Each structure stands twice: as structure tokens, then as C-alpha cells.
Amino acid sequence: MTCGPAINGHRLLARLDAFAAIGATPAGGVNRPTLSVEDRKARALLANLGTARGFTVFQDAAANLFLKRASTDNDRPPLLIGSHLDSQPTGGRFDGALGTLAALEVLETLEDNGIVTAGPIELVAWTNEEGSRFSPGAFGSQVYAAGAFPAGWQDAVDSNGASLPDELAATLKALPEAAERPLGGPFTAYLELHIEQGPLLERQGALIGAVEGIQGTRWLEVTITGQVAHAGTTPLVDRRDAMAVAVAIIAQLQATVMPADVNARLTVGRLTLTPGAVNVIPGEVVFSIDLRHPSGAEIDRLETEITSMVSEAAESGGCQALVRRSMDVAPARFDERLIGIVEDMAKRRSFPCRRMFSGAFHDALFMARLGPAAMIFVPCRGGLSHNEAEYVEPHQIIAGAQVLCDATLEVAG
């Protein structure tokens, strides 16, 4: 069996360093919130690198950024490869950047080797995959998949009051050289390289994960309303302490949901309390619940259980509760032919490979609803991600990008 052209590992590693410098944190991570000044810098750098190699730069109304490499027939639907450039506030250097820059490396490798493909291959950098600045996550790919913006998106604001429509408009304006293109559009296949963000590949000594699908995610926002009162004078019986109720709920969630099911994931990652003064009983607490499971039916069941538990706890603490969904993504299965191609390409290079499900959500989830999609995972040290210490060995980076390149050529024929 012959292997395709070798990617340029040094170039890819240098690119990862250059992008990690945009929004670099003192602890070695990245803070590049979606649609921020840093995100615009990263987008501009990607566009410049693409233009320098003769690729055409486009952006759609959701600020999804595309670099198109021409082919024999440029009117054919493209083969899309890519990921995202935004990060968590204390994010790592590889989450999203790896797949985006590996896609650029694939396009450049084809260019270096004078390979002409029948249909165009396009890099895509999706907007707001993370969702931590503006909900929901995977925003750009959702808008692409739906061909329209979701209801109520104009109301999204970040924790500083900046609005999603304003930040989107400013980001689009910051890249005037990108030609506009309509939302959505047909594609022949979608491939995304990403770090696993969990410990399975490393524990099993595998270099490549052939991803079979992605578990479902539901985000809930819980608001507990009590009564603001004096901390020193209010006896226990007169308190309607929103924080005391929230703490009881969170403790009960942690003690029940995951211990009862190894496949369930529940995280309370954000909590705000009002008014937030040392000697004032909190009148309102708002917290998030990130709930995940490979079974959509189980997510429904857990949501019902959580909602009734929240209202019972609120009532017994003299408070009111409101539970609102802020994101809901059903589990997805990837294309069997593409999964097989990823496995075959890893085998050809003698990279130990295993099939697996993704615990994290990705833009590929929405692309899988529209057409054939698959993902390639590489390990990250200790399975650590959404953390500034996120780390991937150079040989793992290069192996992942090589499999992306090989699989891209195989799919492109």
C-alpha cells in the first residue's frame, strides 16, 4: 500500500506556536474568546497565510471563515476540513487550533506537491465553537447547518454586556478582504482533527482515535430566587436564602447523577449570586448545568428528574426556581465509510488506532446531520483539556495531521 505525501511537521508546529501567541496567557495557555480582538487577529493571520498560498478567502454572515483551494472543477461542492480558532477563557493551545492549522497544512502539502484534486478542498474555521462567551456553543456550524440564525440569537450578551450581533459585525468588518458567501451550502464530506480532550487514547497507548460519534449535550440555566436580607439579624426560620438552596441542589446533583451511571456527565461550571455582599443573604443565584450522555432519551429523563428536584429543594427553602435550556444537542453518529477510511489511513502509517465516541461536542456534530462527516482524535497529556496546561506531543500532532492529509486525499479521490 502506498502512502500519500508527507506533511511538513516543522511548519505545522511553528504555526501552532504562532497562533498560541495570540491571546497567550502567562500560564502557557490561550485566552481567545470568540469574536474578540484576539480572535480577529487569529482570523486575519489565517486569511493572510491562505492568501499567500493562493487560496481564496471567504466568510459567511456567521463569520465562519473558509480558505478554498482550487481544483479541476471549482463548481463542485467542496470537501471541508477544519475546526475552530476560539478558546475557553483559560484554554489550551490545541483545542480547535490543531484541527484548523492541520487543515491549512493539508492544503499547503497538496500545493507543495502540485496535487490537483477533482473537486475543491476548503479549510473552515467555525465561529464560536466553545460557547463560553456567547451561548450556544458550535454556533457557526449550527448556523451553517440550518442556513439561518437561531431564534433569539440577537439577545445573547457576554458577561461584560457586549452583544453577539455587535461583536459579529465588528469581526466581519475586520476582514474586508474575505469575499462574502451565503450561509450553508452542499459539501462532499467533512473531516475534523481534534485532541481527544479525555484520557482514553493515552491510557490505551493509541495514537489515533477513529471517532464514531458524539454524545448529546444539554445546557440548563437554573435561577433560584429568594429574598435579600440582613446576614446578622435574620433567624434561620425567616431566611429565604437562594445560596443555601443552590448549594443543597448542587450537592444532591453531584451525589446522584454521575454515581448512578458511568456514562452520565454533569458539571456546574458557572454560578453567580446577587447582590454578592459579605453581610447580605443572597436573593438570587443563577447557575449552569452541563449535562451529557450518549443516549438522548437518558438526557430527557435526567432533565425531568433534575427539574423536579430543583423545584422541591427551592420550595422547601422558601425560594422559587426556574430551569431554562440554553443549549440542546442530540447525539450524532459519523459516516461509516469515513470512519473506515480514518482507520485504514492510520493502519497504512502503522499508527495504533482505536474506535471511540467523543465526550466533547464539536462542529462535526452539526455537519454530520447534513452529510458524511468524521473526526480524527489524537491524545493529549493526562487527558487534560479546557486547561492552560493542555499538551500534545509533537509526534502526536504530526501523526494526526498526516492522517487528516491521507484521509482528505482518499476522500477527494
* Residues in 109-168 that interact with ligand GLV by CB under 6 A: 130, 137
When binding is defined by CB under 5 A, the residue of 60, 86, 95, 122 that contacts Mn ion is 95
| Nearest CB to ligand GLV, comparing residues 122 and 130 | 130
Which of ligand GLV, Mn ion, none sits in contact with 377, Cβ below 5 to 8 A by type?
A: none
Which of Mn ion, ligand GLV, none sits in contact with 122, Cβ below 5 to 8 A by type?
A: none
Residue 96 in contact with Mn ion, rule: CB under 5 A:
yes
Residue 398 in contact with ligand GLV, rule: CB under 6 A:
no
The DSSP bridge partners found for residue 163 are 157
| Nearest CB to Mn ion, comparing residues 117 and 128 | 128
| Nearest CB to ligand GLV, comparing residues 106 and 364 | 364
| Nearest CB to ligand GLV, comparing residues 170 and 258 | 258
> With CB under 6 A, what is the number of residues at the site for ligand GLV?
4
Contact 320, 176 (CB under 8 A): no
- The answer to whether the bond into 275 is cis (omega within 30° of 0) is yes
Residue 352 Cβ vs ligand GLV, minimum distance, rounded to whole Å: 25
| Nearest CB to ligand GLV, comparing residues 310 and 360 | 360
Q: Positive or negative, the Cα torsion across 396, 401, 404, 405? A: negative
Site string for Mn ion, 44-83 (x = CB under 5 A): ----------------------------------------
Of 244, 215, 214, 239, the closest CA to residue 228 belongs to: 239
Residue 360 in contact with ligand GLV, rule: CB under 6 A:
yes
Residue 130 Cβ vs ligand GLV, minimum distance, rounded to whole Å: 5
Which of Mn ion, ligand GLV, none sits in contact with 96, Cβ below 5 to 8 A by type?
A: Mn ion
Residue 390 in contact with Mn ion, rule: CB under 5 A:
no
| Nearest CB to Mn ion, comparing residues 141 and 223 | 141
Residue 361 in contact with ligand GLV, rule: CB under 6 A:
yes
> Which segment (87-95, 246-254, 261-269, 270-278) binds Mn ion by CB under 5 A?
87-95
Residue 138 Cβ vs Mn ion, minimum distance, rounded to whole Å: 9
| Nearest CB to ligand GLV, comparing residues 265 and 381 | 265
Give the end-to-end CA distance of the chain in Å, rounded to a whole number: 15
| Residue number closest to ligand GLV, CB atom | 360
Residue 289 in contact with ligand GLV, rule: CB under 6 A:
no
Which of ligand GLV, Mn ion, none sits in contact with 126, Cβ below 5 to 8 A by type?
A: none
| Nearest CB to ligand GLV, comparing residues 36 and 188 | 36
Residue 86 in contact with Mn ion, rule: CB under 5 A:
no
Which of ligand GLV, Mn ion, none sits in contact with 338, Cβ below 5 to 8 A by type?
A: none
Contact 156, 139 (CB under 8 A): no
Q: Which residues bind ligand GLV (CB under 6 A)?
A: 130, 137, 360-361
Q: Which residues bind Mn ion (CB under 5 A)?
A: 95-96
